[in-house]
Amino acid sequence: MTRKKTDYLWIAVFGVLTAFGIPWFLWGSATTWAGLPVWLWWHVGWMVLAAVAFAGFTRGAWDRGMNVDGEVRTDG
């Protein structure tokens, strides 16, 4: 994938993470699951997804965006 396409992909990922970070569609819902409100489960799941996305972002796009040379990783 070219650099420009990768940059647009990360912009789209950021937009989706931002747009759905707050579950507007669950406001006013009293539905619970495992004793907690569904909107709370949404936040927990969304933070896990955001952490995975950020981990992927730091494995290349971050170094390129900051104009630094990435280190060669030899773990594992």
Question: What are the pLDDT tens digits along the chain (76 aa)?
Answer: 677 787 788 889 889 988 888 888 877 878 888 888 888 888 899 999 999 988 888 776 665 655 555 555 666 5
Q: How far is 30 from 32, CA to CA, in rounded Å?
A: 6
CA Rg value for the chain? 17
| Those residues with Cβ within 8 angstroms of residue 61's Cβ, 6 or more apart along the chain or in another chain | 6, 7, 10
The full set of domain ranges for the chain reads 33-67
Token pair listed for 52: 């995975």
Residue 36 corresponds to which amino acid? L
pTM for this entry: 0.64
| Those residues with Cβ within 8 angstroms of residue 53's Cβ, 6 or more apart along the chain or in another chain | 13, 17
